[in-house]
Amino acid sequence: MKRSSSFVALISLAAAATLALGACASPSSTSGGSTSEGKLKANSLAAIKESGVLTVGTEGTYKPFSYHEDGTGELTGYDVEIITAVADKLGVKPKFEETQWDAIFAGLEAGRFDVIANQVSINDERSAKYDFSKPYTVSPGVIVVKDDNTDITSFADLAGKTTAQSLTSNWYELAQKNGANVEAVEGWAQAVALLEQGRVDATVNDNLTFLDYQKQKGDTGLKIAAETDDPSLNAFVFAKGNTELQQAVDKALDDLRADGTLAKISDKYFGSDVTQ
């Protein structure tokens, strides 16, 4: 039977519509779970062991955690040494991919690297989107004063005292909450200079910041007067659901903590064990 031109046109239109619908449906059927699963599989423990490489996202400009000595030397730092020791426990080599902080989580999500090693603090917002290893850095907030200061032994003692703080930091909020008169500064270097000159009574900051300063300068004439009860916990970061890799890294951290490796690396950079 001979088909009319109108019938042929109708069939052509139907076919075109089917193709169009198929084209629209195709991305949604492949861009969801299957794409994420593909990236996760590529960054899985089995894939890493098969390749022999653990790809690590880090800044490379964040001293003393991840940096280049003198700006041009090999990548080194506290986090770099710890993740290198972890990779050794896994039987693979670390490959570092340096990226800016603003892009580091996007890189993990895109599968550019297997893990982030960059002193990332665990919080509720991040935990909802990513998986974390066991903490390898435990650091409370501290009040730093001169060695001969006996007036400040607790955060309550900051009331009426003058502290030097960056106005954009959470340490400013903590000092102000406890009644301190805050002298605005740009950062730690200016704050500690004012403290050493006797122009302020104290400064509040992260324990790691003070330990690093003390390690670099030696006898600073400063001491820790008090510390917070809720320390910051920093850990390695994985894509959500990368459970086998997370568990393997946790096991490696347990072994490195037990054999003293973590404490040794910590002492090298901070003169103290900040790993537990």
Q: Do 124 and 239 have their domain in common?
A: yes
Looking at the structure of the chain, the number of domains it has is 2
More confident residue, 60 or 10: 60
More confident residue, 165 or 39: 165
16 domain residue, yes or no? no
Structural domain including 115 reads 38-138+233-270
Q: Do 56 and 190 have their domain in common?
A: no
Q: Do 202 and 257 have their domain in common?
A: no
Q: Do 215 and 131 have their domain in common?
A: no
How far is 82 from 137, CA to CA, in rounded Å? Answer: 11
Q: Do 45 and 128 have their domain in common?
A: yes
85 domain residue, yes or no? yes
**Does residue 275 have a pLDDT over 90?**
yes
| Confidence band for 18, pLDDT divided at 50, 70 and 90 | very low
158 domain residue, yes or no? yes
Read off the pLDDT of each residue in 201-208 and give the average, rounded to a whole number: 96
Q: Do 128 and 244 have their domain in common?
A: yes
- Quote the pTM value: 0.81
- Angle subtended by helix axes 243-258 and 261-270, to nearest 10: 80
3 domain residue, yes or no? no
29: region left, alpha or beta (phi > 0 left; psi from -120 to 50 alpha) = alpha
89 domain residue, yes or no? yes
Helix (H, G, I), strand (E, B) or coil at 75: strand
4 domain residue, yes or no? no
What is the pLDDT of the chain when averaged over all its residues?
A: 88
How far is 106 from 240, CA to CA, in rounded Å? Answer: 13
22 domain residue, yes or no? no
pLDDT at residue number 168? 85
When computed from its CA atoms, the radius of gyration of the chain, rounded to whole angstroms, is 26
Q: Do 128 and 167 have their domain in common?
A: no
Q: Do 215 and 151 have their domain in common?
A: yes
2 domain residue, yes or no? no
User: Do residues 44 and 245 make contact, with C-beta atoms less than 8 angstroms apart?
Assistant: yes
pLDDT at residue number 71? 83
Which burial class, exposed, middle or buried, applies to 169 when counting CB atoms under 10 A from its CB (0-12, 13-18, 19+)?
A: middle
Q: Do 152 and 110 have their domain in common?
A: no
Q: Do 131 and 240 have their domain in common?
A: yes
How far is 184 from 122, CA to CA, in rounded Å? Answer: 28
Q: Do 97 and 214 have their domain in common?
A: no
88-131 pLDDT tens trace: 999 999 999 999 999 999 999 999 999 999 999 999 999 999 99
CATH number for the domain spanning 164: value is 3.40.190.10
